[in-house]
Amino acid sequence: MKKLIFTLSLLIITVTLLTAQKKIINLPDLPGYVTLKCDFHMHTVFSDGQVWPLNRVDEAIRDGLDVIAITDHLEYTPKKDFIPSDFNAAWKICETYAIERNLILVHGTEITRKMPPGHMNALFIKDASLIAKDSVWDNYEEAIKQGAFLQWNHPGWKAQEVDGIPKLYDMHKRLIKNGWLHGIEVFNDSDFYPLAFTICEQNNIALMGNSDVHAIISERYKDPEHRPMTLVFAKERSHDSLKEAMFAGRTMVYFDNNLAAKEEYAKPFFYQCISVGKPYFQNDKTIFFEVTNKSDVPFFLINGIKDAPASINLAANSVTRIAVSKKVTSSLVYDVSNVITGEKKVLRIELKY
């Protein structure tokens, strides 16, 4: 009897130990850049979140992230009867803890206003308490003074825009004119805003995607799901390189099984994920070759050319066998339905075998 009990107990402990480590996210680097996996939007008990700030660091490490920003609301602190306002609390609690765990922690806060202008994250700030001012424009001015990257959060959030469609109000135009609007969330939690794509393209703004988590990451995204994240193509894995890359707009958004990015990043990224093998066999009519997808992202290829398979699913971390008629001559062209490169555009790719 004893033996059995201890076997069972042992098991639980072992599993716990093994899973409390940083998992490897299989997403490639781009030539000349390292791909940093980032989440720039999350909350703790210091605003309307449900956990202590250190949990956000632990969750990020387990998820394999390189970078997070904790962005508690300046203006919305529903727990203030029990927890006094300290807009830099999460930063103070996590700074050393994150360094010791090799996680890049970006100092941030959320400027939380009605639409317009809605919610805006100030990232790379120095002191959130100085940003807390009555006028929203004063908020922005102080943030910019501190060197902030301003990110417009969930621009079509239905609680603020009933039709779910992002709109550029005067305040946004003024920010853009000043060069103060650096990023827009095209994805937040579970909402995708295709129109934000166009706004970003037209105004040279970085595409962002974040979790905006308030509760527990592992309960919201059950393995093997993953939280939405912003991929940043940085010159190296450091706080400064990250910042440079973000202001330069070298980002991609990864949500569910989808990628969203400007084509200049989406295209090389796709080709870094996959490799096309030489044909390993042929018979009278058919040539057989394999496509290896060594990334965590499946690719759904559609709109195949004549005589080729109409669609192909390149499952994540898998090798897909492709049998193609000999009538086709060594190259297949497809749309990748889940690699979004514009408001109404997906990536078009070629498989040469």
Residue numbers 186-215 binding its own copies by CB under 8 A:
190, 192, 215
Residue 22 or 167: the one with the smaller Cβ distance to its own copies is: 22
The verdict on 220 binding its own copies (CB under 8 A) reads yes
Residue 80 or 177: the one with the smaller Cβ distance to its own copies is: 80
Cis peptide leading into residue 117 (ω within 30°): yes
- CA angle 267/317/98 to nearest 5° reads 80
Q: Which of 30, 86, 126, 198 binds its own copies (CB under 8 A)?
A: 86
- CA angle 33/347/267 to nearest 5° reads 20
Q: How far is the CB of 265 from its own copies (least distance, A)?
A: 18
Helix axes 136-145 and 170-178, enclosed angle (nearest 10): 20
Distance CA 62, CA 4 (A): 31
The verdict on 129 binding its own copies (CB under 8 A) reads no
The verdict on 276 binding its own copies (CB under 8 A) reads no
Residue 76 or 281: the one with the smaller Cβ distance to its own copies is: 281
The verdict on 5 binding its own copies (CB under 8 A) reads yes
Those residues whose C-beta lies under 8 Å from the C-beta of residue 304, and which sit 6 or more positions away, are 310, 311, 312, 332, 333, 334
Q: Which residues sit opposite 36 in a β-bridge?
A: 232
The verdict on 256 binding its own copies (CB under 8 A) reads yes
Question: What DSSP element (H or E) covers 70?
Answer: strand 67-70
Binding region for its own copies (CB under 8 A) out of 97-105, 135-143, 168-176, 240-248: 97-105
Task: Say if CB 148 and CB 123 are below 8 A apart.
Answer: yes
Distance CA 99, CA 76 (A): 28
Q: Which of residues 288-347 bind its own copies (CB under 8 A)?
A: 288, 290, 292, 294, 298, 300, 302, 313, 315, 317-321, 323, 335, 337-338, 340, 346
The verdict on 95 binding its own copies (CB under 8 A) reads no
Q: Which of residues 42-81 bind its own copies (CB under 8 A)?
A: 45-46, 49-52, 54-55, 64, 79
